[in-house]
Structure 1
């Protein structure tokens, strides 16, 4: 069952300097129980894609084109009342900064109970028990004590775990995670990755995991979508994208990760910087940084079928390496 189907999504910001095409024709599909990794450098449009799905784009930004269908229901143009009913209950988001989620003047238990009561009529005792279990699931020691704490009394990593627990409280059908483990140590990170995989398998929750860390998402996601300058440049099964990337940008991201094989040698870098979305280069946005660029790249490439069932937006796809 398809939980999320995004087609041709365009989210633009209308500024005094011009139109910023933060998301420019994105196609995504996530099935029940599936984890999709959305990968790319900072500024590629990953977070704006997540905000667009939840209807959290404020002026001067707005969705100017495309479709966002949740369980077949069109969300582009939906009323704010309908979106509020979906947020937190059906569709939840874990923000990169936990202080965007947590109210600094309310105790943790108050915030978690309110998150439950906003969508369900349960007793305060039952809501507290569910909150306690959610904190324990994300690896918070002494959850009863943490329920009594204010956000400023917790470390940054602890606040992030509380934010993750709140997102899981109402057992959403779609979970959008915006780099939720960035502030956590590797032990807790591994625990949370295990828990979200278990959640998706057991409950059928669909998840979009937004990150710039290929090492994390390679062991978590079923499929990967690589984003650059507001567009998906390569998507497919995780093993196929990581094992044999077809887009030069994907190859560059993988080559920049240190491994045992590269110990003591200089890592290959992607030259240059991500382009300004106000002044994108002609044709393929990656062309000025690409070592495989040709005159054909002066025309914007369209998404096309690639090797191993992948979808690639490139005129000069890389040849698959032999096994």
Structure 2
């Protein structure tokens, strides 16, 4: 089965007066139809910039460096015209933002916003657009859709607003959805419901999804595969089971060790010492070496992302050490 999205050597740099910040620096991955890829890392790791790059939403002084490749169903997006990118956004690639109020206009009713979204990409009547909007709300588990369509965003809870944002993303049955930490601000119960809906929708519709998050616990029960990012690079990737149960990179181990669980009750959580390095002044070699408990002199050279086990890749000289 051919990939819905194929990213090759993606480099998104920000050219500032202080220097070049390499927010994304040579990232490769694929997402298949109906698959959920968890893109995981600390703040500043480059995961959100990766998602914005896919949709062509990078503003100056940032830009995607020549030679990068983002192919959606075989179509190259890095060289697409602004008009073509506007046609792709929403129709073929949709994004769910962390804060649903970034998606929803607080002064317009939900039906107005959803109808406008449908008619922006489809030449249909208002009645047809309204019917599609109602069906989308039902699809994400919103009861009394007719009543909800006539409401304003401020009349919804945070979880309901996020469901509406997901419904808007689904209106055109996109090939790919990029979800940028959409459950971070929600309570645990609502978060679980949203994760269940996302997983079900991908299975039923064949839509591919990239779930951007800093929380490994979230993607452990959601994603089919995980890609761990650090300082603009993918440092480990593989099936969810392999990455969670048999992590190879010390950074991945640190992230897993810092997740609270019943096994750590009464004990201090494991910490990853230090801070993420400045993207303007990345150290020579492995960017994680200053925080790594098993670093060696060889770490002054940049390791390649290598397949150490079938389907399980890591960028480390001492993978699984």
Q: Given the two structures, how large is their TM-score scaled by the length of structure 2?
A: 0.95
**1:139–1:188 CA contact under 8 A, matched in 2:** no
**2:159–2:190 CA contact under 8 A, matched in 1:** no
Indicate the SS of the match to 1:2. coil
User: In structure 2, which of residues 285, 288, 292 is the aligned counterpart of residue 286 of structure 1?
Assistant: 288
RMSD: 1.4
Indicate the SS of the match to 1:118. helix
Tell me which residue corresponds to 2:27: 26
Matches within 5 A, 1:214-233: 214-233=216-235
Q: What's the CA shift string for 1:16-73, capped at 9, x where partnerless? A: 1111100000001011111111000111011100100110101100001411011111
CA distance in 2, matches of 1:218, 1:66: 29
CA distance in 2, matches of 1:125, 1:196: 27
Q: Given the two structures, how large is their TM-score scaled by the length of structure 1?
A: 0.95
User: 46-55 or 186-195: which moved more?
Assistant: 186-195
Tell me which residue corresponds to 1:212: 214
1:141 Cα deviation from its structure 2 partner: 4.0
What runs of 5+ residues in structure 2 fail to find an aligned partner?
none
Matches within 5 A, 1:168-187: 168-187=170-189
CA distance in 1, matches of 2:222, 2:94: 19
Tell me which residue corresponds to 2:109: 107
User: 203-212 or 247-256: which moved more?
Assistant: 203-212
1:100 Cα deviation from its structure 2 partner: 2.0
Tell me which residue corresponds to 2:11: 10
User: 139-148 or 113-122: which moved more?
Assistant: 139-148
Tell me which residue corresponds to 1:124: 126
The count of residues paired between Structure 1 and Structure 2 equals: 319
CA distance in 1, matches of 2:294, 2:105: 49
Tell me which residue corresponds to 1:142: 144
Indicate the SS of the match to 2:68. strand
CA distance in 2, matches of 1:252, 1:31: 28
**Is structure 2 residue 251 aligned with structure 1 residue 249?**
yes
**2:41–2:47 CA contact under 8 A, matched in 1:** yes
With over 3 angstroms needed to count, the CA separation of the structure-2 counterparts of 1:227 and 1:179, relative to structure 1, is same
Tell me which residue corresponds to 1:51: 52
**1:138–1:191 CA contact under 8 A, matched in 2:** no
CA distance in 1, matches of 2:9, 2:286: 17
1:215 Cα deviation from its structure 2 partner: 1.0
Indicate the SS of the match to 2:64. strand
**Is structure 2 residue 125 aligned with structure 1 residue 151?**
no
1:92 Cα deviation from its structure 2 partner: 0.5
Tell me which residue corresponds to 2:317: 315
Tell me which residue corresponds to 1:161: 163
CA distance in 2, matches of 1:141, 1:186: 20
Tell me which residue corresponds to 2:71: 69
CA distance in 1, matches of 2:122, 2:150: 22
Indicate the SS of the match to 2:165. helix
CA distance in 2, matches of 1:163, 1:124: 20
